[in-house]
A = this chain, B = another copy of it.
Amino acid sequence: MSSTIHKTHISVAQNASGRNLNVPVYTIDSGQPGPNVYIQSSIHGAEVQGNVVIFHLIKALQAQTISGKVTLVPNCNPVGTNIKAGEYTLGRFDPVNGTNWNRGYHYDETAVTEFATTVSQDESMASITARFKSHLLDGIQAKKQRPWGLGLAQQLNLRLQTMAAQADIVLDLHNGPVSTRHLYVPEYLHASATLFSIPHVIFIPNHFAGALDEATFCPWWTLADILSKRYDREYDFGIAAFTLEMGSQEVIDFTDGKQDAASIMAYLRTQGVLPECKLQPSNMRRVGVYLNDYKTLFTDFGGMVEYVAQPGEYIQAGQPLARVLNIDDLDTEDAVQTINAPCDLIPMLHFPSASVLSGTQLYKCFTEYFVITERTD
């Protein structure tokens, strides 16, 4: 079997020349029942590998029967991708005002609480779900039309969220600076951690800090919590949202991208999107951490850094993470200073430059981590 891709473009911003900045939207709509899936990549402009993953996904999905609908939006932030400062891409924040491109999605807890009051005990899940989706989209729409306007990052985010908010499954493809693969999973989807072929998992609470995954799951999680408490039964709306960190920024790798696409295909199969697909999540060791134990190590001093510990390595307390060269003391015992691991940890990523000021994020690390699955062969 095969499926047909439909391609459109949406305008997400205008540049200083007054030109629309367009984003391609690839859609496969099977017309058959099944989940509505939304996948985007490169909201941070230097995190481009997700575009390769979407390229391989499109190829793979075209060869499959689909149940439901899949929407894929590569390179979703054309502003971020195109801001160069020196040879690299300054893609993480708006160069005008420093706003992180992944912090302006919409979530209004009060609106959820208010909506909850309209749900009676005997309203069907389907009805609640349909009404709440519509309610969420109305909220996004209202925000887009504020009479005094909105900032660029927020405008961009809301246009993307208008698509994502209609989906049941949302995958936001990112990269770290120099990074190993890891996955953000909301705590209520704990079991989903084993459905991807990603060795490191961060479990996150029902807390909104502006990102797309949070903006997607927080309203449903909150609504489920309110209704479950009120009516003393489980409410599971089947909404899932994940942020996938597919390795390092500033890298395009077609071979890795094919594997990552296969990992996502296997997950989609478990969700009923690919009835004829045979792909399985890998048999692999998976290690998890709660967000509180996912720690950032800042340096207290500036200098030139060798990153000794590699992302994904198991490091014991006291082992060296980094060495810093002290330019003014090359002739003394203080020429090299070592930064040691404050506890047992696994670095997920490190800063991509060898030159750091004091207060730079050197590493982000799993601490107090635990095994989710062991490799069994």
Complex Cα distance, B323 from A52, in Å, reads 11
Complex Cα distance, B304 from A55, in Å, reads 12
For residue A34, CB closer than 8 A to chain B, the reply is: no
Q: Which of B79, B305, B328, B335 contacts A252 (CB 8 A)?
A: B305
Complex Cα distance, B16 from A351, in Å, reads 14
Could you mark each residue 338-370 of chain A with 1 if its beta carbon is under 8 Å from any beta carbon of chain B, else 0? 000010000000011111111111000000000
Complex Cα distance, B17 from A45, in Å, reads 10
Q: Which of A80-88, A116-124, A196-204, A264-272 is near enough to bind chain B?
A: A80-88
Output the nearest chain B residue to A305 by Cβ-Cβ distance.
Answer: B252
Complex Cα distance, B303 from A22, in Å, reads 15
Q: Which of B18, B155, B351, B353 contacts A328 (CB 8 A)?
A: B18
For residue A107, CB closer than 8 A to chain B, the reply is: no
Number of chain A residues close to chain B: CB under 8 A: 98
Known: A18-B301, A98-B98. Contact between A330 and B26, CB under 8 A? yes
Q: Which residues of B contact A191 (CB under 8 A)?
A: none
Known: A24-B327, A58-B331, A352-B250. Contact between A83 and B81, CB under 8 A? no
Complex Cα distance, B324 from A153, in Å, reads 21
Could you mark each residue 127-152 of chain A with 1 if its beta carbon is under 8 Å from any beta carbon of chain B, else 0? 00000000000000000000111111
Pairwise interchain contact A304-B48, C-beta atoms closer than 8 A: yes
Complex Cα distance, B29 from A185, in Å, reads 56
Copies in the complex: 4
Residues facing B in A64-81 (CB within 8 A) are: 72, 74-75, 78-79, 81
For residue A100, CB closer than 8 A to chain B, the reply is: yes
Output the nearest chain B residue to A339 by Cβ-Cβ distance.
Answer: B149
Output the nearest chain B residue to A57 by Cβ-Cβ distance.
Answer: B330
CB distance from A361 to the nearest CB of B (A): 7
Pairwise interchain contact B297-A353, C-beta atoms closer than 8 A: no
Complex Cα distance, B86 from A90, in Å, reads 5
For residue A254, CB closer than 8 A to chain B, the reply is: yes
Q: Which residues of B contact A205 (CB under 8 A)?
A: none
Pairwise interchain contact B335-A55, C-beta atoms closer than 8 A: yes
Complex Cα distance, B81 from A354, in Å, reads 10
Residues facing B in A277-329 (CB within 8 A) are: 295-306, 323-328
Pairwise interchain contact A354-B252, C-beta atoms closer than 8 A: yes
For residue A253, CB closer than 8 A to chain B, the reply is: yes
For residue A97, CB closer than 8 A to chain B, the reply is: yes
Complex Cα distance, B22 from A327, in Å, reads 11
Pairwise interchain contact A302-B17, C-beta atoms closer than 8 A: yes
Pairwise interchain contact B81-A86, C-beta atoms closer than 8 A: no
Q: Which of B85, B91, B299, B355 contacts A46 (CB 8 A)?
A: B355
Kindly list the 6 A-B residue pairs having the minimum CB-CB distance in the complex, ordered from nearest.
A152-B359, A149-B298, A98-B98, A85-B85, A93-B98, A14-B302
Beyond contacts A14-B358, A16-B84: 15 other A-B pairs, Cβ-Cβ < 8 A, are A5-B331, A15-B82, A16-B355, A16-B356, A17-B302, A24-B327, A24-B328, A55-B325, A86-B88, A87-B352, A87-B353, A93-B97, A155-B358, A252-B323, A254-B336
